[in-house]
Amino acid sequence: MVLILAMTASCAHAQSASPNSAKAAMDAAMHAKFYLNQASLPLDLILPTPPAKNSAIALSELVELHQIEEKRTPEQVAQAQIDDHEESIFLFASVMGTQFNADALPLTSALSKRIRKDESEASSGLKSTYRRPRPYQADTTLHPVCTVTREPNSYPSGHSLSGYLLGFALIQMVPERRQQILDRADQFAHNRLVCGVHYASDTEASRRLAYALFGSLTASPQFQKDLAAARDETRQRLGLPAAINR
């Protein structure tokens, strides 16, 4: 009888605890995918609202995109199209050299993928909040040369946000090439305009947001652990001294 009562109490406890345990497990699994708890970050307060359609700023940005379209060279288009399909830290291979690649640097690749998840989570929420039409949706006389979408999700630029966040991380790993990395991140962002798929204010918002997000990233113990591992791996691969002189 005592055994039956104990089993009954145990089952009742398991049934009552099960939903909470399952939720806790789901929350843990979700947070494990990200460095940041973005629910605690007021991202919409960091950015100004995008320029209104037909405002003087929006119209001037469309004029700028037409000028870029008229002057872009085949080489610029080709690079913009390459960048359109690249959102990993290895977009900086042109700065770091051919040895800087995913196959050779698995820990660095893993860091990159996790930063990208944080970027995607941040930018997708803001895109849904602002729902800014893409330039080619607002002005059908533009001729984009990269991937297009029907969704009004121009602000901020996810590609640009990735580029800046990954660039900031790489600077922590190889500070000797800080300026070259920043220049490449700026080029990567500008190529969204060469593509004809973003306004200048979209990419500027991404740059501004990246500084805020990266500051929060550095407060994550897991990020610091992964960054240290990626730093050691990358510096060894590139033949750089382990000690960093800042």
Residue 140 has which token pair?
A: 């059908």
For residue 8, pLDDT beyond 80? no
What DSSP state is assigned to residue 139? -
- CATH topology assigned to domain 78-240: Vanadium-containing Chloroperoxidase; domain 1 (1.20.144)
For residue 52, the surrounding DSSP H or E stretch is: none
CA nearest neighbour of 135 among 193, 86, 77 = 193
For residue 68, pLDDT beyond 90? yes
Domain ranges of the chain: 78-240
For residue 1, pLDDT beyond 70? no
Calpha distance 139→229 (Å, rounded): 46
This prediction's pTM: 0.86
The b-or-e profile of 166-190 (16+ CB within 10 A means b, else e) is: bbbbbbbbbebbeebbbebbbbbbb
The b-or-e profile of 110-138 (16+ CB within 10 A means b, else e) is: ebbebbbebbeebbeebbeebebbbbbbb
CB atoms within 10 A of CB 216: 16
SS3 19: helix
Q: Name the more confident of 81 and 29.
A: 81
pLDDT range class, residue 62, cuts 50, 70, 90? very high
The b-or-e profile of 78-89 (16+ CB within 10 A means b, else e) is: ebbbebbebbbb
Over residues 114-158, the pLDDT tens digits come to 999 999 999 999 999 999 999 999 999 999 999 999 999 999 999
The whole-number pLDDT of residue 5 equals: 39
Over residues 38-60, the pLDDT tens digits come to 777 888 888 999 999 999 999 99
Over residues 97-123, the pLDDT tens digits come to 999 999 999 999 999 999 999 999 999
pLDDT range class, residue 32, cuts 50, 70, 90? low
Residue 102 has which token pair?
A: 């995913």
